[in-house]
Structure 1
């Protein structure tokens, strides 16, 4: 006759426990998230390798800028976050003998990334950054505009075309010298014409950001290493993709031999294209080479075959066991083979053309779209009483209810005993 009370207590305890677990389980699950999947660390995800010389040492009183922020989502597609080689499923491996630390193959027409290796690794561009300078030049200066180099322009650390201070050159002539022979003297002359080195570098960085090159920060107009210099194979693919749409740029990089005419008593300046695939690789469209001690060898080039245009970017490559241009040619062959097999792209060249003078601003609609989606997905207003308050209320209710049950069972037991 005393078994009713223990049974009631058991019922009460189980009810309270069940109620608490029912309400707290989701909250506990949310408070203890699953540990993130540990991806293989990428050595240069944030910054290029340490410099081997003092070229990036800031000037007295200056501080080197910190690394560029890494986007939360990889630009161009999820697979492009990988550090290693990224190829279509079922595709053959890339050709052996490639020494580049990172590279990207792209379709110049569709923007499809055909294959890559560590595409967003932060590297130094060397003279490939001149492609970005050239874009600023063709945007802001007219082809027939006259530029008169200063003594400082003409005395830059070479590679140099050989322009002379006080002579007069057209923008088109200098553009050929910039892109064909990678003239640092020409790069500085353009910077002077664009308002000075600091303003020119700022314009280059603004353009890079505007077309979606989020790994890129120029430190010098020429590509000579400087504090904070950064880019990636992916970004240079974005820049080259956009540059090849500019007729002045495409014409200059496709020129094998050029001559800047004689000026007064100054002899003509012959200019030869440094890109040794030009005239050798079938359908080669042109490109750019680069080298510094810190960047090592860098390369970009494109070619056309069977109606397809493919470009390759290589970063931090070495000239052995074969020359970098030969390695690039094999990668281009590999890209054309992937296209012929209709291999699925591993990513995309995600860029937008920068706004032109007179165009309506494009940033505001994008910002509004992002804000709109954020509002749509926003959670409902938080309950002021709180989950904890409701849990405590339930517990009190169950205890009171349990008290009534226990009291009722006790009275019934006493009545049974008296009978």
Structure 2
């Protein structure tokens, strides 16, 4: 029975199916299985990845108080990771110090969670300290995951040359995850030359991953280099690669609804787009100006606003607004990174609708409330 829960809960975590996860928790609680370190950790992870960080924290203390798991690093790793994806890097570091005070020995997973948390919060000094502690105090040799986290830490903060030099100084051959972290940073900060260099390495070590072609294409598109965009897309097509379509999901009335970018087939399609047009008008009164740099097609200006408005997270958001009580929170799960224009729009929509809007994208959580995002516009 235990094995069943350990397989089911991660699936609900991935989908953001909170209501289904709550039902499983109820059954697990009846059998006291939540005190099993692995089942308990799966529940912690489920709550954290479904946006219920307070519940994850409460359960963590319940599980970690049990004597038989008190010295296990497993629940600690989970709660550190959960705080990291919500952008609470300082809390992750604080939890790590508490872990050490409790006499729990960290492992290689602990430091992956820590370094990732520092990266999402821009904590460069803390991240470098964690990397040092891992090697010098615990004699844990960095894996490629740790190196990738460090490159992401430097690159996400805009220190692209520092990230590149870090790669060049690695004692092991960098893999796709390391070069991919650099390429993603170049996408964020618009560095065409370094992005091109990183992509050459990526196409050598992992030529079948369409995501790298998409990132490079996006870098060129943002720079207005449409000829290069065409070449990258042609190269991907010639290799039989297809771009992963963007989708967002939202759970309403115990049903998970999935929206794809540009979706016109939903039964409430007309109501959804009517709501989006109304919200866009109200956003413009508050000073919203569409950022067309996030439209990665070479089309006319009047088409670009429609493309932005039909991004999957906005469709899911509008559906949530028309399908749930006023001022109730909305939780959305997206398979790709949220774009900058949708991020700005969601901040304004949270203010207009007086709702908390929680978005989990491929990188992290964003909590929008009263026109502000928990990430501080750093993600």
Higher RCO, 1 or 2 (CA under 8 Å, sep at least 6)?
1
Q: Which has the higher helix share?
A: 2
TM exceeding 0.5:
no
Q: Which entry has the higher C-alpha Rg, 1 or 2?
A: 1
TM-score normalised to structure 2 length: 0.22
Relative to the length of structure 1, the TM-score reads 0.21
